[in-house]
Structure 1
Amino acid sequence: MRNVSEVIEQYLKQILQQSPDGVVEIQRNELADQFNCVPSQINYVISTRFTLEKGYVVESKRGGGGYIRIQKIGLHSQGTVLDFIFQNIGTHIDQTASEGLLYQLEEGKYITRREACLMKAAMAREVLALKLPLRDEIRAKLLKAMLISLLGK
């Protein structure tokens, strides 16, 4: 049985997919009532599973008419994906950001689950047992090389 966080995440992803513009606005309290949980559970799901690294932009407006707006950032072509990779990796990338990028590429079906798992394993801090910032530099070079090899030019 899935936990409430997974159910909320799947629900939000489903309504995002159904949205023609890839944007959804929700009322935190209404969603909490719908899933019979506390509003902080909604905050937890949004802050951990709808991050920029995972391809989402989140805005919130507090107050009586407040809302939380979640927008999926789309990658539509191979060229866009490669541009996105070069913009987000740069010369350094930490483990969390690299895993978020791989998650986003896997969700967009640009890489397989197996490819993502192999790359995560190769870039883990336990494998790259180097001091910072060298570790993040090596991770960035490895990640770029692997993704360019998989995705093209």
Structure 2
Amino acid sequence: MARLSDEIEEFIKAMLNESRESQLQIVRNELANYFSCAPSQINYVLTTRFTTNKGYYIESKRGGGGCIIIRRLEVRNDDSFMESINEKIGDSITYNSAYQVINGLFEAQMITKTEADMLRVVLNDRTLIAANDNRNRLRADILKSVIMIILNKE
């Protein structure tokens, strides 16, 4: 059986996919009641599963019962997008951060599952073990280069 966090994530994503708009408005307490959990569980899912790295923007509104707006970010395949990716990656990146970038590109359908899987293998710590202290720097260089090739940028 899936963990509650996974169920909540899938439920929210399904609601977003069914919506004709790129955003969804939910009431945290109502969602918590639906899943018979604490509102903090909803917060946990929103802060860990719906991040900007994964292509989402969360806005919280107070008053009138309060609501949360989840926006799906539009990822564009242009120079400004590549600049933001290069800035996000920087000169050095940990595996966990690279993993989030890869997942964000996959969820935005900019890379295939196979490409995402290959990047995860190429960039993991075991593969880059010989790089020692330069592992994160090498990982950043590889990630930026491969993303540029996949997205046909030079």
TM-score range with shorter-chain normalisation? Answer: 0.7 to 0.9
Q: Which structure shows the higher helix fraction?
A: 2
- Distance in 2 (alpha carbons) for counterparts of 1:96 and 1:52: 15
Distance in 2, Cα, partners of 1:55 & 1:74: 8
Instruction: Give the letter for the 2:28 counterpart.
Output: R
Q: Please give the residue correspondences for 1:1-150 in structure 2 after superposition, counting only pairs within 5 Å.
A: 1-61=1-61, 65-77=65-77, 79=79, 81-129=81-129, 130-131=132-133, 134-150=134-150
Residues 83, 20 of structure 1: alpha-carbon distance in 2 compared, 3 angstrom cutoff: farther
Separation in structure 2 between the aligned mates of residue 135 and residue 17 of structure 1, nearest angstrom = 38
Task: Percent identity, please.
Answer: 38
CA distance in 2, matches of 1:111, 1:78: 15
For structure 1, which runs of at least 5 residues remain unmatched after alignment?
A: none
What is the CA distance between 1:42 and its match in structure 2?
0.9
The worse-fitting range, judged by mean Cα deviation, of 134-143 and 69-78 is 69-78
> AA paired with 2:11?
Y
Maintained 8 Å contact 2:23/2:70: yes
What TM-score, normalized to structure 1? 0.84
CA shift, 1:30, in A, is 0.6
SS at match of 1:60: strand
1:63 CA drift (Å): 6.0
